[in-house]
Each structure stands twice: as C-alpha cells, then as structure tokens.
Amino acid sequence: MSARKPTLALIGATGAVGTVMRDIISTREDVYGEIKLVASARSAGKVLQVRGEDVVVQELTPEVFDGVDIAIFDVPDEVSAVWVPIAAERGAVAIDKSGTFRMNPDVPLVVPEVNPETVRNRPLGIVSTPNCTTLSMMAAMGALHEQYGLRELVVASYQAVSGAGVAGSARLYDEVEALAGDRTVGQTAGDVRKALQNKLGDEESPFPAPVAFNVVPWAGSLKDGGWASEEIKLRNESRKILGIDDLKVSATCVRVPVITTHSLAVHATFEREITVADAHRILEAAPTVVVMDDPANGVFPTPADVVGTDPTYVGRIRQALDFPNTLDLFVCGDNLRKGAALNAAEIAELVAAELAG
C-alpha cells in the first residue's frame, strides 16, 4: 500500500511570493496530497489556482493546520512570530520565510544546495529559509567554499524593488510612469523628487528616496552603528548556512530601479589559492548555477536576462589584483523565485521525502 502524500499549506498564498510559490508548486514534481491556500480574513474566500485546480483560500486560524504535514509561511515577521509556533504545535513542519526564527539556534537555516542535512535537526518543528539577498549568492558561495574554504566576503548588493513586496514594484511603476517622457528630469539636484511630488503628491512610498532614475543605498531598517538590517542579515545568515562562525563579512545593500532579480558584486577570499579556471570548473558543475562569463562578447548576467528563472547566474569572474586567494564576481538571482519561493519549495520537498520514509 502506497504511503499517503503529505498535506501542504501555503500561508500568505495571495501575496507576491505566494503567487510565485503556487506557480512553482504547480510545475515541479507533484509530491503532495491536498494543498491548502491560507491568508488573512480579508482574502479568505478567494478562489486561486494551484496544480491546475481551483482552491478556495481559507482564513488563517489554528484549526486550518489540522491534518497539515508541511506549512510554508510567507508572512511578515510579526505574523510568523505568532502563527509559526501554532502550526508546529499542531503537528506541521513549519517552513518560515520571515526573519523571525533564522538566528534561533534550534531552527535550521537551510539552503538545499549547501546544507540539506540540517533540515532534519528541527527540535521546534520549524525550518527557516534565508533572506533573498543572501540566497542570491549562496549556491555559488557554498560550492566554492566546499573546496577552497571561504574566509571573507565583501558584498555590494543591487536589490530589486520587489524585495519590498507588491508595494515596492507598484511604486517603481508609478514613478517611471510619472517621469516618462520628461527629458529634463535628472539634470539638477532634487528635480526627480520635485517631479514626483508634482505628479504623485503624498502617495506613500516604501523607499526613503526616489528609486526611478536613482539608486538608494538603503534596504531594511536601521541597526546599531548605522548598518541596515539587510546588511546584518547577509552577514549573520551567511555564517550560519556555511557553518563558519568567524566568517568576515561586510555588505552594502542598495535598492536599484529593477522590478525583480537581485544582483551582487562579491569579493570573496578563500583559505587556499583559487584561480578563475578553478571557479569555472566548480560553478559549472554546480547543478543550480549557470556561468555566464565571456565579457569580451558581452556575456555576463543581468537582471533583465535572468528574471523569471530559477538558477543562480554568475559572471565577471576575476582574480583580484591586489588580494591573495581572492576572486571578484557578479551574481544574479530572481529574488521572488530562488530568493524566496523556490528555496522554501525545495525545503518542503526535502521534508516530504523524509516523511515518506
């Protein structure tokens, strides 16, 4: 007699990442029995498609987790703090995308290409998935670290506005529409702000500065020492995922006028000598990494070329001129797919295989 397929619940199924999650679940191997779509009371009753079937969205209540084996959460931190433990207490393996539990020592922080074995060590019944910025580089860094021993990372991120949710994408579209056709804007200090104020008025923005015709050196909330929360997350999460407690990391996170796909310029120092040829060999063998590295012919990853796809793309691989055992490279990854939904889906598949015995 075949084993029962696990029941999956997607919490936050109507959001930007939830929409991508439904698409991913529908196109990957079907390892689930029932799939429940769960959201706030405001969205309950909506009918959405998953696996080609119409499914009614249920309200987030304790009872919704009855009979659920795996629950994937894509909700704000404060919602996860309340509801993830409830799901775990009612018997589900809770896979949480928020930052609430990432640094809890009793919660594994999992990237299936890097540390899949840690998913089984979940004393609280909770598994966490990293921030989308960290995830954009982790498959590549994990593969290189395994053979050459990563010691230091200096990273500058170029983060898409969809990392701030639906409101982030909507704001960039609004700003572009407001400025379109005006070839005088962007010529003098403050004219972009003034033009947006004239066209959009006091319309709320998730960003502290205009993002159209601009870059904003800020992502997240303010932390000690002037650091942004995204920068601290990248440091702490990289250490935990790679198992390097003393990994030296410094990051500057920048928001750019791109809808979806984060990019990172990475300066990586290793314990042992590593060449560009070594990096090509390792990264080309990594199953979820695509190497695009022929700058003489204009071949390197850009968000416009890789958005909507699942791999991590790596290019501009160079031997650092003044730093031993160091490579400089450029990484792109769709922040709504691998940076969010896909990693959680891959973790859920690991758990499903474990439950199947």
**Residue 249: Cβ within 10 Å count:** 18
Report the DSSP pairing between strands 289-291 and 312-319.
Answer: parallel
CA distance 44 to 95: 21
CA distance 351 to 357: 10
Q: Which residues are catalytic?
A: 132, 262
Report the DSSP pairing between strands 47-50 and 53-56.
Answer: antiparallel
Q: How far apart are the first and last CA of the chain?
A: 14
Of 131, 127, 14, the closest CA to residue 71 belongs to: 127
CA atoms within 13 A of residue 132's CA, in its CB half-sphere: 29
Of 310, 315, 215, the closest CA to residue 266 belongs to: 315
Would you say 74 and 93 are in contact if contact means Cβ atoms under 8 Å apart?
no
Q: Tell me the backbone φ, ψ of residue 66, rounded to 5 degrees.
A: -60, 125
Of 285, 156, 167, the closest CA to residue 228 belongs to: 156
CA distance 175 to 211: 8
**Residue 295: Cβ within 10 Å count:** 13
Q: Residue 229 is inside which H or E element, if any? A: helix 229-242
CA distance 335 to 338: 6
Give pairs for 217-220: CB < 8 Å, separation 24+: 217/252, 217/253, 217/254, 217/255, 218/253, 218/254, 218/255, 219/133, 219/157, 219/159, 219/163, 219/253, 219/254, 219/255, 220/253
